[in-house]
């Protein structure tokens, strides 16, 4: 994909300002703990569990919040399990250590056929084992040290993936803005709450960058309306593994719907491709000079409430390996 990176990067910065991040997450414990999600305090509910603003399934981190009660923590865990399945191939192949270890991956079986079950497992000494049962699911170029593997993801509910990302965003929302965006909290808790949301997940797959631990940035629009369209009020960016994921949050109750009549939303993308750029190479380039940057980008609709399956094709390089290629199976060590 080709873009003028200077123009792209500046346009996002002109529209959105960061209001919360993993770097600015408050670390103080309030005198009276009140859950930001359900509104109950420690006189009514327990706060015994360690609540992570960004789940450790995306990588070990210390992004802890003290205003999420145990009941909400347990409720949101069902969303996080779908988020984990959705990104599992990347978490496993890239080697992202979660709460306890790097997660293993085991593909679903299509038509109950064991030959379609690809799996990724790690040994105690950290070596990766890829078990590839179907010759149709992978291509190996030993000379150029590249592989292409199709991972058959387990079934997930796309809307749960979206809500898990929304929960991350609301965990980083400054307390002074909770009241303004209360409708988003209500919808996260209750499926019957009416709300307008943008269901597209934007993913940039980096080829030259791997994040040591996840990071989160929550942005708010400086100006909502333009002559022809409008910008969603909030957008979330999460970096982990070799992925930059972005969603737009639902509209608040204070959004001016009459003013938006006849206008379309403008979804300004975070310039994630700059992680793949050689900063020294481009630091002296004039702002109006077009720059070609190659990266892998994908948009996925997360609106559906029905269990669905999707295949993930990952292309990557390796330094060394032993290959045992037979008619119906192979192992990569």
The answer for 34, left when phi > 0, alpha when psi is -120 to 50, beta otherwise, is beta
Q: Above 60 in pLDDT, residue 315?
A: yes
Sorting pLDDT into bands at 50, 70 and 90, what band is 328?
very low
Per-residue pLDDT of 97-138, as tens digits, reads 878 788 877 777 666 666 666 777 887 777 777 776 666 777
**Do strands 119-122 and 128-132 pair parallel, antiparallel, or not at all (unpaired)?**
antiparallel
Please report the pLDDT score of residue 134 as a whole number.
Answer: 66
Contact residues for 105 (Cβ-Cβ < 8 A; gap 6+): 88, 89, 92, 93, 118, 119, 120, 151
Q: Is 232 left (phi over 0), alpha (psi -120 to 50) or beta?
A: beta
Question: pLDDT at residue 54 above 70?
Answer: yes
Task: Return mean pLDDT, the chain.
Answer: 84
Range with the poorest average pLDDT among 97-101, 197-201, 273-277, 306-310? 273-277
pLDDT tens digit string along 214-262? 999 999 999 999 988 999 999 999 999 999 999 999 999 999 999 999 9
Taking the mean position of all CA atoms in its chain, how far away is CA 222? 24
Segment 301-316 mean pLDDT: 87
Reported pTM: 0.85
Q: What is the per-residue burial (b if ≥16 Cβ within 10 Å, else e) of 135-163?
A: eebbebeeeeeebebbbbbbebbbbbbbb
Q: In this predicted structure, what is the pLDDT of residue 320?
A: 67
Taking the C-alpha atoms of residue 82 and residue 86, their distance in angstroms, rounded to an integer, is 6
pLDDT for the residue 277: 64
pLDDT for position 304:
95
Q: Is the pLDDT of residue 58 over 60?
A: yes
Q: Between the CA of residue 246 and those of 169, 224, 272, what are the distances in Å?
A: 10, 18, 9
Q: How far, in Å, CA of 296 to CA of 235, rounded?
A: 21
Q: Which one is predicted more confidently, 151 or 48?
A: 48
- Return the number of other C-beta atoms located less than 10 Å from residue 187's C-beta: 18
Over the Cα atoms of the chain, what is R_g?
21
CA distance 186 to 38: 8
User: What pLDDT, in 10s, does the model give residues 143-182?
Assistant: 887 878 888 888 899 999 999 999 999 999 999 999 999 9
Beta bridge partners of 15: none
pLDDT, tens digit, 9 for 90 and up, residues 276-305: 765 444 444 455 544 444 458 899 999 999
* Residue 4, pLDDT score: 39
- Cβ(158)–Cβ(302) below 8 Å: yes
Specify the pLDDT at position 275: 81
Q: What percent of the chain has pLDDT over 70?
A: 82
**pLDDT of residue 331 exceeding 60:** no
Instruction: Say how far apart CA 173 and CA 167 lie, in whole Å.
Output: 10
Question: Which sign, positive or negative, has the C-alpha torsion 181, 166, 269, 263?
Answer: negative
Structure tokens at 181: 């965006």
Q: Strand runs (DSSP E) across the chain, as ranges?
A: 16-21, 51-52, 64-65, 105-106, 119-122, 128-132, 138-141, 146-152, 200-205, 215-221, 229-230, 234-240, 243-248, 264-265, 296-301, 311-317, 323-325, 330-332
Query: What number of CA atoms fall less than 13 Å from residue 135's CA on the CB side?
Result: 5
Q: Is the pLDDT of residue 330 over 60?
A: no
């Amino acid at each position: 994909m080709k873009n003028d990176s200077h123009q792209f990067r500046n346009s996002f910065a002109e529209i959105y300002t960061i209001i919360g991040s993993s770097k600015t997450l408050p670390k103080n414990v309030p005198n009276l703990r009140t859950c930001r999600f359900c509104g109950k305090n420690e006189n009514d509910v327990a706060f015994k569990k360690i609540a992570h603003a960004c789940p450790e399934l995306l990588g070990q981190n210390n992004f802890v919040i003290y205003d999420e009660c145990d009941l909400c923590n347990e409720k949101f865990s069902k969303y996080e399990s779908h988020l984990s399945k959705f990104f599992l191939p990347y978490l496993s192949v890239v080697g992202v250590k979660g709460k306890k270890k790097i997660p293993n991956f085991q593909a679903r079986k299509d038509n109950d056929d064991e030959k379609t079950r690809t799996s990724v497992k790690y040994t105690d000494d950290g070596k990766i084992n890829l078990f590839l049962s179907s010759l149709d699911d992978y291509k190996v170029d030993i000379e150029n040290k590249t592989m292409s593997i199709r991972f058959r993801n387990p079934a997930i509910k796309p809307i749960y993936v979206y809500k898990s990302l929304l929960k991350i965003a609301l965990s980083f929302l400054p307390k002074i803005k909770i009241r303004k965006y209360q409708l988003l909290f209500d919808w996260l808790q209750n499926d019957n709450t009416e709300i307008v949301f943008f269901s597209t997940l934007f993913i940039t797959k980096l080829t030259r960058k791997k994040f040591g631990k996840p990071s989160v940035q929550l942005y708010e629009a400086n100006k909502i309306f333009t002559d022809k369209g409008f910008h969603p009020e909030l957008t979330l960016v999460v970096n982990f593994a070799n992925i930059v994921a972005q969603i737009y949050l639902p509209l608040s109750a204070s959004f001016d719907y009459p003013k938006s009549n006849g206008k379309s939303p403008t979804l300004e993308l975070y310039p994630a491709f700059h992680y793949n750029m050689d900063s020294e190479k481009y630091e002296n380039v004039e702002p109006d000079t077009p720059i070609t940057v190659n990266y892998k980008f994908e948009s996925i609709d997360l609106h559906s409430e029905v269990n669905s399956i999707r295949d993930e094709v990952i292309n990557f390089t390796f330094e060394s390996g032993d290959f045992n290629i037979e008619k119906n199976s192979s192992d990569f060590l």
